[in-house]
């Protein structure tokens, strides 16, 4: 497997089940993410992409969103950057950063630049990300270029992929969603067209390395034909 995508979900519910503030669940989710990145270094995959904060998440209570932004900024700057240095990880961030507070977007830009030449595996964080907005953004860039060139030819699918946030990355081989829901929630809708989908009822703070290992093992036994003959 080259690329494993993970939708982390259930932090708030994890806290509520324990009678804790939802922000405590987000903090535990951040700790679980650090553990997952350490485990990722040891498993048979080259790229880990994580759906960390969606455009729809912005609709939550303002205090919760502010707490979540603060937690992400702290963990990106300290714990996750430390892991990147320890394992020579390349950190990449995708999404519409204009939607984010400067304290968070500045941290993401800084550590992304500092790790761009690292030689280890790649970890991609989708923050302020919405798949529909990514597609709109891609078409906007394509059309502006075509208007400048007075090009009215049909848009090719290669042009679309070249203008997505994930340009240069292989498509996800598998998507693992936590939290009990069976949907992708606007995560990489174009890129996951042929991804194998796995769903787990476990809430994200309860992450365990075996979750990744099970997906990789099951994936290794799947015959992928991408719409071709099943044989």
* Residue 102 forms part of a structural domain: yes
For residue 172, the model assigns a pLDDT of 98
CA distances from 102 to 67, 69, 75, 97, 145 (A): 14, 10, 15, 9, 29
Tell me, yes or no, whether 57 lies in a domain. yes
Residue 193: inside a domain: yes
| Nearest-angstrom CA–CA distance, 169 and 125 | 13
Q: Provide the domain count of the chain.
A: 1
Asked if pLDDT for residue 231 goes beyond 70, the answer is no
| Residues 172, 164, 189, 53, Cα dihedral to 10° | 90
Instruction: Assess if residue 188 is contained within a domain.
Output: yes
What percentage of the chain carries pLDDT values higher than 90?
A: 90
CA distance 227 to 95: 29
Classify residue 153: in a domain, yes or no.
Answer: no
What whole-number distance in Å separates Cα of residue 102 and Cα of residue 32?
25
* Mean pLDDT, rounded, of the chain: 95
Is residue 158, in this structure, part of any structural domain at all?
no
Q: Catalytic amino acids? A: 9, 57
Q: What is the pLDDT of residues 167-219, one digit of tens each?
A: 999 999 999 999 999 999 999 999 999 999 999 999 999 999 999 999 999 99
Residue 160 within a domain: no
Q: What count of other Cβ atoms lies within 10 Å of the Cβ of residue 76?
A: 24
Q: What is the CATH number of the domain that holds 213?
A: 3.40.1180.10
Angstrom distance (rounded) from CA 55 to CA 111? 22
Q: Which domain holds residue 101?
A: 3-130+171-220
Task: Give pLDDT tens digits for 14-26.
Answer: 999 999 999 999 9
pTM value surpassing 0.75: yes
The verdict on residue 150 lying in a domain is no
Q: How many Cβ atoms are within 10 Å of 66's Cβ, its own excluded?
A: 12
């Amino acid at each position: 497997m080259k690329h494993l995508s993970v939708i982390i979900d259930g932090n708030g519910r994890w806290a509520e089940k324990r009678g804790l503030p939802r922000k405590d669940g987000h903090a535990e989710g951040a700790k679980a993410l650090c553990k997952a990145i350490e485990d990722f270094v040891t498993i048979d995959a080259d790229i880990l992409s994580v759906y960390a904060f969606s455009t729809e998440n912005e609709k939550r209570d303002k205090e919760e969103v502010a707490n979540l932004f603060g937690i992400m900024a702290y963990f990106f700057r300290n714990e996750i950057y430390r892991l990147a240095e320890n394992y020579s990880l390349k950190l990449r961030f995708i999404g519409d950063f204009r939607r984010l507070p400067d304290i968070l977007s500045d941290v993401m830009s800084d550590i992304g630049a500092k790790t761009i030449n690292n030689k280890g595996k790649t970890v991609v964080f989708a923050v302020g990300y919405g798949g529909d907005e990514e597609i709109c953004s891609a078409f906007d860039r394509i059309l502006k270029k075509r208007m400048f060139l007075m090009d009215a030819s049909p848009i090719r699918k290669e042009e679309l992929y070249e203008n997505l946030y994930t340009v240069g990355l292989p498509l996800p081989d598998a998507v693992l969603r936590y939290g009990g829901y069976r949907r992708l929630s606007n995560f990489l809708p174009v890129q996951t067209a042929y991804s194998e989908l796995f769903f787990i009822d476990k809430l994200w703070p309860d992450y365990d390395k075996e979750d990744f290992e099970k997906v990789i093992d099951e994936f290794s036994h799947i015959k992928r034909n991408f719409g071709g003959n099943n044989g």
